[in-house]
């Protein structure tokens, strides 16, 4: 099994559903523009079967084909923000956990330093 087919077989159902919705939305966009499959496929530089696979939400359709379809409807600019770091919840949560750990470590180090100082003072006074 190739890496691509393995990745596709492990795709989460929510992602599959999102691709199906995207494909359906692209089909509606084409139909609203009163464009035929043949004309739209030609404008995209793909075959009609490839366009049909895109509109069916098939995950094996290339990202380039999807980007071109988005360009045709004036939505390709949205691609740039899909994985923007400021929207990456997983990384943001990791940053917060790291900051919390740093705070705990610093608090622990401060408490240890205070204890060492108090012990040293007590030893000096004795």
* 48: Cβ contacts below 8 Å, ≥ 6 apart: 37, 38, 41
- Clarify whether residues 29 and 78 are in a common domain: yes
**What distances in angstroms separate CA 106 from CA 8, 93, 112, 113, one per listed residue?**
45, 20, 10, 10
pTM: 0.69
Structural domain that includes position 95: 86-125
My answer on whether 61 and 15 are in the same domain is yes
Residue in this structure with the two tokens 């990745």, named with its chain if needed: 7
Q: Which pLDDT belongs to residue 61?
A: 96
Q: Which of 82, 84, 91, 31 is nearest to 55 (CA)?
A: 31
56 and 117 both lie in a single domain: no
Mean pLDDT of 25-44: 97
**Rounded to whole angstroms, how far apart are CA atoms 63 and 56?**
15
Answer whether residue 29 shows pLDDT above 90: yes
User: Torsions phi, psi of 36, nearest 5?
Assistant: -80, 160
Is residue 56 domain-shared with residue 97, that is, in the same domain?
no
Q: Using a pLDDT cut of 90, give the percent of the chain over it.
A: 56
Residues 105 and 120 reside in one and the same domain = yes
Q: Is residue 103's pLDDT more than 90?
A: no
Q: Please check whether residue 55 is in contact with residue 40, taking contact to mean a CB–CB distance below 8 angstroms.
A: no
Domain check: are 62 and 104 in the same one? no
- pLDDT bin (cut points 50, 70, 90) of residue 2 is low
CATH number at residue 46: 1.10.260.40
Cβ neighbourhood burial of 109 (10 Å; 0-12, 13-18, 19+): exposed
Q: How many domains does the chain have?
A: 2
The closest alpha carbon to 63, from 48, 49, 46, belongs to 46
- Cα separation, 97 vs 94, in Å, equals 5
What share of the chain has pLDDT > 70, as a percent?
Answer: 97
pLDDT digits (tens, 9 = 90+) for 45-80: 999 999 999 999 999 999 999 999 999 999 999 998
Average pLDDT rounded to a whole number, residues 87-97: 79
Q: Does residue 111 sit in the same domain as residue 70?
A: no
């Amino acid at each position: 099994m190739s890496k691509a087919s393995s990745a596709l077989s492990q795709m989460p159902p929510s992602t599959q559903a999102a691709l199906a919705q995207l494909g359906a939305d692209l089909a509606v966009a084409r139909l609203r523009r009163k464009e035929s499959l043949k004309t739209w496929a030609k404008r995209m530089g793909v075959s009609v079967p490839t366009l049909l696979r895109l509109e069916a939400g098939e995950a094996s359709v290339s990202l380039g084909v999807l980007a071109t379809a988005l360009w045709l409807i004036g939505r390709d600019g949205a691609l740039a923000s899909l994985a923007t770091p400021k929207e990456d919840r997983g990384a943001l949560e990791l940053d917060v956990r790291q900051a919390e750990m740093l705070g705990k470590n610093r608090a622990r180090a401060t408490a240890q330093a205070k204890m060492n100082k108090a012990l040293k003072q007590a030893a000096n006074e004795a």
